[in-house]
Homo-oligomer: A and B are copies of this chain.
Amino acid sequence: MVSSSDPSASSARDRIRDSALERFGRDGVNRVTIRAIAADAGVSPALVIHHFGSKESLRKACDAHVVALIRGGDDAAPDLTAMLESATPVRRYLARALLDGTSDAAALFDEIVELTADWLADGEREGWVRHSEQPHARAALYVTWLLAPLAFDTHLARVLGVADPHGIDATLRFAPVALDVFTHGIFTSDRELEAWRAVGKEHGSP
């Protein structure tokens, strides 16, 4: 039917991978069947195995594809910005992969934290980022906080009353809220912070 000389149609292999990406990200790997992926891609379940060998290999291929997309074609620098600007299925897949704890995703997470730490260190040197006593921990926390809305997207959408939490409208509306906290904080005084520090000291030398 679809000849290989037709440039408009993507190859069956790519369609399978894209369908898997979509479903894996939306429902989680274990809830997705090869038959469902095959149906989405319009092929037989056997072809999925023919091209990828196994479901696990297919998942790894999705990992690799997403990592390649986020790392970008030219430079080898992954970036949270690049990630957050990726297409919705890609973002959802990555968030899901991080939550499921695949090894490729773990490596990517580590890389992103490193780059974020460097970025914050630059900002600190240049004066637009505040000093931190634990810069590495802060970078890691910052990354998880940027990922949090991705992980809890359905809950945020419901609570905030938006239809598509990944849409540009929702992003433009709620990104300033996060940025406001990142810029001015939430609490006006050191009261809570000092309370925690006191607990820590009390616990450290009893």
Contacts and interface: CB of A to CB of B under 8 A. Distances in A.
Interface stretch (A35-43, A45-53, A86-94, A194-202): A194-202
A172 B138 contact: no
A133 to B, nearest CB: 8
A178 to B, nearest CB: 6
Contacts of A204: 172
A2 interface: no
Contact of A101 (B100, B140, B154, B172): B154
A180 interface: yes
A140 B178 CA distance: 11
A175 interface: yes
A186 B181 CA distance: 8
A1 interface: no
Interface residues of A, number: 68
Contacts of A200: 172-173, 176
B183 A192 contact: yes
* Interface class of chain A by DSSP: helix
A152 B147 contact: yes
Interface stretch (A4-12, A14-22, A71-79, A124-132): A124-132
Contacts of A184: 130, 185
B149 A187 contact: no
Interface string A153-184: 01110111000000010001111111111111
Given A99-B152, A152-B99, A132 B183 contact: no
Nearest to A149: B144
